[in-house]
Chains A and B, each alone.
Chain A
Amino acid sequence: MLNFSKEQTRFEIAGLKIGGQPGELPRVLFGTVFYRKQFSDVDASAIKRVQELVSAQEEMTGITGVPAVVDIFIDDEDDLATRIDTVADMVSGPISVDIPDPDLKVKVLEHLDAGGLLERTIYNSINLGLTPEELDALLEHTPASAIVLAFNPKDMSTDGKIDILETGAGFTEKGLMEIASDCGIKAQLLDTAATPFEHMAAEPIRSIPVMKNRWGLPTGCAIHNTVESWLWMKDNRKEYKEQYTINDIGSLGLPAIMGADYLVYGPIDNAPRAFPFIAMVDKFLAEGASDYFGISQDDDHPRGLMP
């Protein structure tokens, strides 16, 4: 429905195409593995379960044409190699490494480099918690792509998010985008940083077109986190299980309709629900772009695959 006068950059990361004008390419969905408590012990059964879930996500891509990335949650040094290698062996495209712990980030980058995986890596994420050790590691073991997170606890408005990306907002010496460029990261994916309700929860959605208009880079977010942290929904989640799922998946449509190029949709278990939903949104976006702005799509777009 939207169209930007600013030129929109498209990246190709290990065969994955991302970015461009809304309706041009399908949205890319990131499904996370090893996140829930069922994976606190990464044993043989957990690996088998992850393999099943990754296969199910791949299958959904085949059916819908919506591209997938496996986002590998890593919170334990002991099994980081197992987590990464399990997924890297299964998929041919990019892998995303999601590492909240600053100390672990360095070890993950070292492992990715040793395994020759940096050209397939989407580093999730460069954010204001950047440490000198992490920066050194990024310079030495530079991934092909990184998510650059616009979380600014001082100001969660769209302007505050732009500020942290552009100047560092006083938290870092330079803007996070410049830091990523200095590290040699070629494909920057901007993340508008979802926040809970009553913490400017709509701003990550507003920020999507604002950032795409400003920089023309692929932009997205993990808006499902807002639903997950919604207190009323938490209190009533057991009673309204189906409604929770509808809200969780439905939230993905909000940034998508505003032009998001990628969406982190949470646990990969939700692939059978998230992919057909986003395929439908992609069909709307594609027809809107085509009928009014003359933008066409490739044959493997959901519009062609799911007539």
Chain B
Amino acid sequence: MYEWYPWGGEFRVGDPSSSVAVVTLGDKVQLPEEKVAIWGPLKTENLGIEKVVANVVSNPNIRTLVVCGREVRGHRSGDSLLAFHRYGVDANGRIIEARGAVPYIENLPEEAVERFRDQVEIMDLIGEVDPAVIETVIDERLVLGLPSFGEPLIVVKIERERSAAVFEGAIALHSEIMLHDDLRIVGVASGSDAEASSGGDA
């Protein structure tokens, strides 16, 4: 695991002191390691964006996020990322104004959402796959010499309470069902059949 970027993902790491990160959406683009802190694709408009946000705010040196490459059709992860940065999420976790299929952010604390929106400026190059064009924009951002945003923010995923099912003398699969030792499935809490009728020659 890198010192930065605790959520992992499909990305490459360049110079962590660089102020530029790049999202390449549905494409793989080769970029100069010495100029870019981190870059990689973004396929999904929910879990993928959560990873981008958590990883970006872990490195306060990143002040610009270039979004390039071809849009992932249907998912519209690029459009959703731009909408997330511009408008944030509603009370239900839905990215406001996003046109993706399922644009929901559910595993990030509000602090991370706001931090991301404040920390980085987004350069919209959606559709662009030419490394030379992308590098030109990277260079333009680097010469600004933007300062670090401050301390890293290491985002901890929102954890939800779990309760394990415990069955005496049966095979546990879920709190709602148990398996008899002959692998007949019998409903427990759902109120479906309380006891299995014997099937076939069992």
Contacts and interface: CB of A to CB of B under 8 A. Distances in A.
Contact of A129 (B102, B187, B197): B102
A210 B101 contact: no
Interface string A220-243: 000000000101001000000000
Contacts of B199: 3, 292-295
B101 A213 contact: no
A170 B16 CA distance: 40
Contacts of B160: 155, 157
A5 B184 contact: yes
Contacts of A153: 46-47, 93, 102, 104-107
B131 interface: no
Contact of A101 (B101, B104, B193): B101
Contacts of B99: 102-103
B200 interface: yes
Nearest to B46: A153
B185 interface: yes
B200 A75 contact: no
A198 B173 CA distance: 19
Contact of A293 (B46, B106, B174, B200): B200
A48 interface: no
Interface residues of A, number: 43
A100 B106 contact: no
A293 B174 CA distance: 23
Interface in B84-129: 92-94, 99-107
Contacts of A210: 173-174, 176-177
Q: Looking at chain B's contact residues, is the secondary structure mostly helix, strand, loop, or mixed?
A: loop
Contacts, number: 117
B193 A231 contact: no
A49 interface: no
B47 A209 contact: no
Contacts of B100: 129
Interface string A125-144: 00111000000000000000
B8 interface: yes
A151 interface: yes
A6 interface: yes
Interface string B176-202: 110100111111001011011101111
Nearest to A215: B192
Contacts of A284: none
B73 A76 contact: yes
A17 interface: no
Given A153-B46, A153-B102, A294-B199, A5 B193 contact: yes
A199 B47 contact: yes
Nearest to A288: B183
Interface in A154-180: 154-155, 157-159, 170-171
A213 B73 contact: no
B75 interface: yes
Interface of A: 1-6, 75-76, 99-104, 127-129, 151, 153-155, 157-159, 170-171, 195-196, 198-199, 206, 209-210, 212-214, 229, 231, 234, 292-295
15 contacts: A2-B185, A3-B183, A6-B187, A76-B73, A100-B75, A102-B99, A151-B102, A154-B104, A171-B92, A212-B185, A214-B176, A214-B187, A292-B183, A292-B202, A294-B200
